[in-house]
Copies of this chain bind each other. A is one copy, B any other.
Amino acid sequence: MTSIKDVAKAAGVSTATVSRVLANNAPIKAETRERVLKAVADLNYRPNLIARSLRAQKSAKIGLVVSDIRNPFFTAIGRAVEDAAYEQGYSVLMCNTDEDPAKEELYLNLLYDENVAGVIFSPTHQFNIATQTYNQKMPFVVIDRAIESNDVDMVLLDNVAAAYELTEHLINNGYKNLAGLFGDASTTGQERSRGFHKALKDHQLTPIAAHFIAPRIQQGYETTMNLLSQPNRPDAIFTSNSLLTAGAYQAARDSRLNVPTDVAIVGFDETTWGALVDPPVTVIEQPTEEIGRTATELLFQRIQEPSRSPKTVILKGSLIARGSSGGK
């Protein structure tokens, strides 16, 4: 492998000079610079990132820790983060926790050991910032799920407001017997549940049911099947994430009920299939691109100025009203 020594020799300078030319962080005579750059090009030299990282105690990598990359929401976030990082010359290490706190800790440690410049992550329910040893050592930005701490940057959705809007949309369209399905793995489910209940209360309605379940298609399907086979079945199903939405939608279909006249289905997150099914499904769309970008920008800000006071950015979801809640 060609190292900085080879370049130095070829250019007739010291390794320090080569390093300075490449890092651009010191005055160098123009003529020397050219000689060095020529040697770099001739030898096709690329600096060893590992050595650089060891010496400089930092790297041009950031970590992204999410619960499941197969969830389209996180996929979109991942893509946005990667693009934003790429523009700054950073690359992204992506990790799945599976909502498992042990895996989460393992990956956070790993990222720390890898000398990442910072981490963007959506914590599991059990994550406790206080018990973590690295919390002071590694800049990070929390996304999607609030944690109880006011000295960490966060990028969140206004979940209560979004759920309120979605619920009110149902009510306005004539639905009165609502049931809610909420993911039990994160704070977002809880917040969305709050907005759901608040909207109902404000309209003098009581929910038929509200279940906290594992955020899986299968769970959404089974719970909805149960709900729809009861004598006092709901006329609208509110779901708090796209996997539950898919399950609920399938259940409505399999129950041979008409959507939206027999039962409405609404949920969170725009997906490939949301507009493709018939009727298309009403959702709150999260600004994934913006969430990813903002998180990345906040992270870079914190990396540059670690003492900056923490910011929480709250973004708004937007209601995409479609056929699945079109009224009776």
What residues make up the interface of A, taking CB atoms closer than 8 Å to B?
A: 44, 46-51, 53-54, 59, 68-70, 72, 75-76, 78-79, 82, 91-96, 107, 109-110, 113-115, 133, 217, 243, 246, 249-250, 253, 271-273, 275-278
Contact = CB atoms under 8 A, between A and B. Distances in A.
Given A75-B70, A114-B50, A277 B272 contact: no
A137 to B, nearest CB: 9
The 6 closest A-B CB pairs, nearest first, are: A273-B273, A49-B113, A50-B54, A94-B94, A50-B53, A277-B277
B82 A49 contact: no
B46 A109 contact: yes
A271 B78 CA distance: 19
Nearest to A59: B50
B272 A217 contact: yes
Nearest to A273: B273
B278 A276 contact: no
Q: Name the residue in A59, A79, A217, A272 with the highest tally of chain B Cβ atoms < 10 Å from its Cβ.
A: A272
Given A46-B113, A70-B79, A91-B95, 11 more contacts: A48-B113, A50-B114, A69-B79, A75-B75, A91-B93, A246-B272, A246-B276, A273-B276, A273-B277, A277-B277, A278-B278
A275 B254 CA distance: 11
Contacts of A79: 68-70, 96
Contacts of A76: 70
A22 to B, nearest CB: 13
A109 B133 CA distance: 33
B92 A94 contact: yes
Contacts of A278: 253, 277-278
5 contacts: A46-B113, A49-B110, A54-B54, A82-B95, A243-B272
Nearest to A98: B83
A78 B82 contact: no
Contacts of A246: 272-273, 276
A93 B96 contact: no
A272 B275 contact: no
A133 B246 CA distance: 46
A275 to B, nearest CB: 7
A74 B68 CA distance: 14
A253 B276 CA distance: 9
Contacts of A44: 133
